Amino acid sequence: MEAPAPWDRYRDPVDDDGLAIPRLRPAQLIAVDAAVAALYTLVTALTAVAWVELPTGLVVGWVALVGLPVAVRRVWPRPVFAVVLCASALGLVVGVVGDPLLAAAYALYPLAVATPRRRREPTLALGVLSGMLLLVGSVIGTERPFPAGVVVTSGATLGLAWTLGRATRERRRARAREMTDLAERAVVEERLRIARDLHDVVSHTLSLIGVKAAIANHVADSRPDEVRDALRVIEATSRDALVEMRRMLGVLRTDDTDLSPAPGLADLPDLVAVAASAGVQVDLVERAPGRLPAGVELTVYRIVQESLTNVIRHAAPAHCRVTVTGGDGDVTIDVVDDGPGVRPDSGPGHGLHGIRERAQLHGGTCTAGPRNGGGFAVTVVLPVNGREDAA
């Protein structure tokens, strides 16, 4: 595993404001710091040479020692801050540096961002040492007047840089925790979705197998040809169910993206064929539903699948009509049969309860119950956001 670059821990991995703002690359960040270091060194050196009564070479070298290390503050933050802070404090005492430790504050910020709470003591020790140096300098005096206010201003500048750095660190940690929570919640929701899909597949398959097995047992002695037909349906249905179950369970065991398409409107005729093999004649009517988002298509497919499973389980043999209608911003699924019109309670999390749950997840509605003229009806209305009409 490749080791992270030294500057990686100083970069914000997420956009704190949630905006699509391009993040600077490490080389670009260092280039910005190098430009700041060069500008600071140039301006400070020109100013110091004009009014400091020291050899020009010494002044320029001292200023360079203060300003140039800032260019690599993200690569070696602790050594850079130590060098810049000590050089700035001494330069302030002898009069080479006139600003209140601006370079040191600039070097302190990334260190404050990256330093864990348990490792901040060396940084604070450097600050205390430099503060004592400034106090000693103000007491013993220099050739240039050294006002005590500079000590206060310098301390405030360093304190502000430290506070801003720590605040940035805490904000990023909070954001990282939020992203982790969102990722964990997404995993839980995906597992629940897979559990619902797995229930639909198992329930649908076992219902069909149960019906065919009952038929085979009933006609075993009198009509052996029908027994073979029933066994072929059971074999094909169980094989298809195993394939789909392996695909869904594979999602739980791997981080790879499942590239196989999810079932949708185009697969509804397959459900009709399966229901027909179980003795339920189904009329499928699609009234211009248009192009739906993949999630909505999958929900429509699962609702029709669960509805037909209920018909096979409780009403077969029967006649059933499935209508999928696209409206203005929604899609309606109607499943009507001419069976006895009674649905025994299958327990929580199954049957009609699962259909209602899927509808609610999309902000839709579900109504189900016996029809006045006999049979049972299920009507689900799903809102469609961002729906595209077919070209």
Residue 65's identity, in one-letter code, is L
Letter string b/e over residues 272-294, b meaning 16 or more CB atoms within 10 A of that residue's CB: bebbebbebebeeeeeebeebee
* Residue 190, phi then psi, degrees to nearest 5: -65, -40
Could you tell me the two tokens for 345?
Answer: 């309670």
- pLDDT at position 27 is 83
Rounded to an integer, what distance in angstroms lies between the CA atom of residue 78 and that of residue 122?
Answer: 9
Tokens encoding 225: 């040809």
Strand 330-337 and strand 318-326: the pairing is antiparallel
Residue 162: the pLDDT is 86
Q: What is the predicted pLDDT for the residue at 273?
A: 86
Express each pLDDT in 266-295 by its tens digit.
Answer: 889 988 888 888 778 899 998 877 778 877
The CA distance from 368 to 335, in Å, is: 9
The sheet carrying 280-287 orders its strands as: 280-287, 318-326, 330-337, 376-383, 365-370
- Taken in order 346, 350, 351, 355, the sign of the CA dihedral is positive
Overall residue count recorded for the chain in this entry: 391
Which domains are seen in the chain, by residue range? 8-182 (no CATH), 189-383 (3.30.565.10)
pLDDT tens per residue, the chain (391 residues)?
445 455 454 444 443 333 333 466 778 888 888 999 899 888 888 887 777 777 888 888 888 888 899 999 988 888 898 888 888 877 777 777 667 688 888 888 888 888 776 555 555 555 555 555 555 555 444 445 555 566 677 778 888 888 898 888 888 888 878 877 776 777 677 677 777 777 766 766 777 777 778 877 777 777 877 777 778 777 777 777 777 777 666 655 555 444 456 788 888 998 888 888 877 889 999 887 777 887 788 889 889 988 888 888 776 677 899 999 987 788 999 999 987 766 554 444 457 888 888 888 888 999 998 888 788 999 999 988 644 443 3
What is the structure's pLDDT at 389? Answer: 42
Dihedral class, residue 350 (left if φ above 0, else alpha if ψ from -120 to 50, else beta): beta
Q: How high is the pLDDT of residue 322?
A: 94
pLDDT score, position 2: 46
Q: How many CA atoms lie within 13 A of 291 on its CB side?
A: 6
